[in-house]
Chain A
């Protein structure tokens, strides 16, 4: 029976499952609403009550909206960041570096975070580059920058692999030609002098006399590489006095093959295999004493797994915060209901059933909760959009946070729980002394 149900559930599309879960979460609220208001028309009175103390009610809605918005925004942002970082690592199938921390080297190779790393030699580079299972083996040489943008030495094959077609110009062909990421602070035709190092420690005049000409601009990739300036690895080696990576008689054509003897070394090599399975074999074969091979996607998944616990904690805190705020608001409603006490007493004097008076107070509280929840979705969406822009600007990782089913489920859960909690002020209103309220 259970297996049959599980099978049918699995057969449903993800959207259908999400819709069903949403309906199930909302069901308690809908059932309570129907049970409380069935047969009555409390809405005109609720509308009058809402308008009567509109500024106080608006304050309650803002409070609920803010707390819901924080929860929704956090969830959406976390997912957007996860997707953004995964997308940024998408082009990096396998990375080879000197043995050390996979996380550190992933941050350096994929996210262009500055780091000091030991170099891999030419013998090792050619070993991987000459492997028949490998389609691309590209050196990634870091260390220089221009106007805060990293300059990375690599091969034309990597440029084509990273960005595909160019938005302007072409790939570099000469030793001192450069191509710019979509958001790099240079334009086609600019001539730039590289600085040695990054940020405030960069030595602006260390490479005086070296000039790169920007010959192309890449399409956006949604990764930190959009701010990078890519140049031939030969140029990076040459400006550091390490030769060109090619032996005597080099014809000036940039890119592999490099001379094993004259290869100065590279902190990282991006590898792309012809077949997916080959990546696993290569990772196994190139994980040894002198080299480390790792999948950035797998390292990222591990990081996301660790952050997943934080995400769960953040979600729980967000829900608890929402419930606390709503509990505060509902307590406020108990107090606020005293302002309506005389009108509610009038209803009871006129013979209104207890359930009708109950329905009026409950519907009033439910209207505030629903208003707050709707506002919260808008606040969460806006907060996620703003945070995405800030994060994208600061990390160059394209973070696109949009509201999805997890947020819908969170808001639905909040609505269901708090709408049931709203029974408390409604019950509280019924316990008041009718005659005393009529005389007040």
Chain B
């Protein structure tokens, strides 16, 4: 289920209490695609990790739909992530010794038994849609583009309503990048998922519903 995002007066501090992110207000409707751009080190990834509940907010609120993420304890934030979020990082972060299907259905290892078969089936469907051969072929034998598509299948496997992507195309060549962007957008649009993508990639940002810029840890244009 896609979720809306509302960020209010969010502050994240780093070592020594130094403020590394301050977002006064940001809201996106459910099912929309938000691009986040900005120079390196500006705080884009910090923003993504903060709204995912991986970084603890020093103050302010992050709400997904009716749920205020910042008010949840650590265990509940983890539960919220596994029920609603899918992640795609710059590095696919695959378990290299496992096959594409096992990597894509990684969540089956820790989800309740009743959901495991569904996750595996969704993962295999996603791999087929993304033209990645399944089976037992080890992940480290796939090309960079295929590996990133396995990571995308993993993000979709648990039927997450929100896809959070951190520079998903940064390590890919032009042709592979174009294909991944196409696949990502097609799958997100088809199922009406929310997408928040941090990227420098103008092609990816170009297909977003909305693009915001973060500089020096603050939102400068919305």
Contact = CB atoms under 8 A, between A and B. Distances in A.
A343 B93 contact: yes
Contacts of A44: 98, 102, 109
Q: Max chain A CB contacts within 10 Å: which of B75, B78, B110, B154?
A: B110
Contacts of A438: 49, 54, 89, 93
A51 B97 contact: yes
B80 interface: yes
B95 A45 contact: yes
A12 interface: no
A49 B95 CA distance: 8
B110 A348 contact: no
A435 B97 contact: no
A351 B81 contact: yes
B97 A52 contact: yes
Contact of A48 (B52, B97, B154): B97
A349 B109 contact: no
Interface in B65-99: 74-75, 78-83, 85, 87, 89, 91, 93, 95-98
A28 interface: no
Interface string A41-71: 1101101110110000000000000000000
A52 to B, nearest CB: 6
A349 B54 contact: yes
Nearest to A342: B93
A346 B93 contact: yes
A433 to B, nearest CB: 10
A47 B97 contact: yes
Contact of A350 (B87, B102, B113): B87
Interface in A308-352: 342-343, 346-352
B67 to A, nearest CB: 14
Contacts of A49: 95
Interface string B35-50: 0000000000100010
A356 interface: yes
A45 B109 contact: yes
A41 B78 CA distance: 18
Given A350-B106, A438-B89, A48 B95 contact: yes
Interface in A334-392: 342-343, 346-354, 356
Interface in B110-125: 110, 112-113, 116
Contacts of A350: 81-82, 85, 87, 106-107, 154, 158
A49 B96 CA distance: 9
Interface in A28-50: 39-42, 44-45, 47-49
Contacts of A435: 49, 54-55
Contacts of A41: 108-110, 116
Nearest to A52: B97
Contacts of B98: 44-45, 48
A435 B82 CA distance: 17
A108 interface: no
A40 B154 CA distance: 18
Given A349-B81, A350-B82, A435-B54, A356 B109 contact: yes
A394 interface: no
> Would you call the interface of chain A mostly helix, strand, loop, or mixed?
helix
A435 B85 CA distance: 16
Interface residues of B, number: 33
A39 B45 CA distance: 33
A353 B109 contact: no
Contact of A354 (B78, B91, B93): B78
Contacts of B75: 353-354
B56 to A, nearest CB: 10
B78 A351 contact: yes
A351 B55 contact: no
B109 A40 contact: yes
A439 interface: yes
B71 to A, nearest CB: 17
A434 interface: yes
Contacts of A354: 74-75, 78
Contacts of B158: 350
A343 B82 contact: no
Interface in B143-162: 154, 158
B96 A352 contact: no
A354 B113 CA distance: 17
Given A356-B109, A356-B110, A348 B78 contact: yes
A62 B138 CA distance: 27
A17 B158 CA distance: 50
B79 A351 contact: yes
Contact of A352 (B49, B52, B55, B110): B110
Contacts of B93: 342-343, 346, 438
Given A48-B95, A48-B96, A347 B52 contact: no
B14 to A, nearest CB: 10
Interface of B: 45, 49, 52, 54-55, 74-75, 78-83, 85, 87, 89, 91, 93, 95-98, 102, 106-110, 112-113, 116, 154, 158
Given A350-B158, A438-B89, 12 more contacts: A48-B98, A52-B96, A342-B93, A346-B89, A346-B93, A350-B87, A350-B106, A350-B107, A351-B79, A351-B85, A356-B109, A435-B54
Interface of A: 39-42, 44-45, 47-49, 51-52, 342-343, 346-354, 356, 434-435, 438-439
The 9 A-B pairs with the shortest beta carbon distances in the complex, nearest first, are A351-B82, A351-B81, A48-B97, A356-B110, A48-B95, A51-B97, A352-B110, A346-B93, A351-B78
14 contacts: A40-B110, A41-B110, A44-B102, A48-B95, A48-B96, A51-B97, A346-B93, A347-B110, A349-B81, A350-B158, A351-B78, A351-B80, A352-B82, A434-B54
